[in-house]
Amino acid sequence: MLIMSDAEKQIMHQSKSDQSRHGGTEAIPGLSIVIPVYNEEENIPEIYRRLKNVLEQVANDWEIIFVDDGSRDNSAGVIRQINVADPRVKIIGLSTNLGHQIALTAGLDHAEGKMVITMDADLQHPPELIPQLISRYQEGAEVVQGVKLVQKKRGWLKILAAFAFYSVICKILRIQIEPNTSDFRLLSRRVVLLLREMRERHRFLRGLIPWLGFKIARVEYEAPERFAGQPKYTLRKLASLALSGVVSFSSVPLRIFFYLGLVGAFLCVGYALFAIAAKIFWEAAPSGWASLIVVITFLGSFQLIAMGIQGEYLAKVYEEIKRRPLYIIAWKKGFSDD
């Protein structure tokens, strides 16, 4: 007997509607490239040029979807110009800057290819690696993950932050994310359709994809420096991404405070017994205003931290239950329903 999960039914359904949308026999693009863009006007002509060189060799039918994440420079204008000359280049304009992960999501929602590759606009994800990604897919991998070997010229603060996040926090909290994974990866259509069903607001694709449980093939690469412009990920955006990663994939931080509370309670009982005994047997009144203050402020600050962490989870729950759309598309170009 054939038993299908809801997700698989959805995929069946979706692929049928794909066929009808494409007039049944018309092939869906074999390969979609999704590129989030935030103020990358100088990089776009170059990434298009290099991508096109590679894509012409590996696929007959491909599309490049740029997602303009509310750029304030002329990125959108540059992409529109390319679209006029080459309609395989499409663009989705988000209403405002919503961040890399949401921009990626918007692109994945529109990508029609049997294979979808996501990459950055700054050429730190070399297009020349695409044939390698595709060959791993053809060997049977549903996800092919680009893994950075070394990255030249990365600020020490970012290196330290990445180490703290991947090697310390993720290890302790048992979040399964391999260090140095990037958002340079190939996804099968099946994985893309599953991701479309995961509508959580606080998206951390580096965690969501391993969560799906498919076997992940790795392709290692050396990340060159940015072709042009400044990094768009500020330390604040990185910190917020890391926090999403932790809060979305682990509830251990909540539990840590439960255990700390237990330990504290035992210590307090012990200290109380000691104080009572001292009073009765040695008649020594517990001295020490200082120790009292230390205990009070210590416990007070622990409580505040605990409340802060609870608040963080509560805020996430609140944001999720509002069920607002993840992004608003201001305009599109190159799609059948522009």
Q: Which residues sit at the interface with Mg ion, rule CB under 5 A?
A: 120, 122, 124
The residue from 41, 69, 112, 142 that contacts ligand UDP (CB under 6 A) is 69
112 binds ligand UDP (CB under 6 A): no
The residue from 32, 105, 118, 124 that contacts ligand UDP (CB under 6 A) is 124
User: At closest approach, how far in Å is the CB of 226 from Mg ion?
Assistant: 5
Number of residues that bind ligand UDP (CB under 6 A): 16
Stretch that binds ligand UDP, among 127-135, 227-235, 241-249, 296-304 (CB under 6 A): 227-235
SS3 (DSSP) at 107: helix
Burial of residue 312 (number of CB atoms within 10 Å: 0-12, 13-18, 19+): middle
Q: 111 to each of 37, 160, 167, 189, 332, how far by Cα in Å?
A: 16, 35, 33, 9, 13
- Of the pair 137, 184, the CB lying nearest Mg ion is at 184
261-268 long-range Cβ contacts below 8 angstroms, 24+ apart:
261/306, 264/299, 264/302
- Bridge partners (DSSP) of residue 181 are 147
Stretch that binds ligand UDP, among 119-127, 239-247, 266-274, 325-333 (CB under 6 A): 119-127
40 binds ligand UDP (CB under 6 A): yes
Contact 18, 28 (CB under 8 A): yes
Contact 225, 124 (CB under 8 A): yes
- Of the pair 226, 333, the CB lying nearest ligand UDP is at 226
SS3 string, 12-24, reads HHHHHHHHHHCCC
What, of Mg ion, ligand UDP, none, does residue 177 touch, CB below 5 to 8 Å by kind?
none
244 binds ligand UDP (CB under 6 A): no
74 binds ligand UDP (CB under 6 A): no
CA-based nearest residue to 309, from 237, 250, 236: 250
What, of ligand UDP, Mg ion, none, does residue 99 touch, CB below 5 to 8 Å by kind?
ligand UDP
User: At closest approach, how far in Å is the CB of 224 from Mg ion?
Assistant: 10
The residue from 126, 224, 231, 261 that contacts ligand UDP (CB under 6 A) is 231
Query: At a CB cut-off of 8 Å and minimum separation 6, what does 132 contact?
Result: 219
What, of Mg ion, ligand UDP, none, does residue 36 touch, CB below 5 to 8 Å by kind?
ligand UDP
- Of the pair 41, 142, the CB lying nearest Mg ion is at 41
What is the C-alpha to C-alpha distance for residues 102 and 325, in angstroms, rounded to an integer?
11
Look at the block and give the residue holding tokens 């680009």: 146
Cα 4 from chain centroid (whole Å): 28
Token couple for 150: 């070394």
The residue from 31, 33, 38, 175 that contacts ligand UDP (CB under 6 A) is 38
Burial of residue 309 (number of CB atoms within 10 Å: 0-12, 13-18, 19+): middle
What, of ligand UDP, Mg ion, none, does residue 249 touch, CB below 5 to 8 Å by kind?
none
103 binds ligand UDP (CB under 6 A): yes
63 binds ligand UDP (CB under 6 A): no
189 binds ligand UDP (CB under 6 A): no
Binding site for ligand UDP (CB under 6 A): 36-38, 40, 69, 97, 99-100, 103, 120-122, 124, 231-233
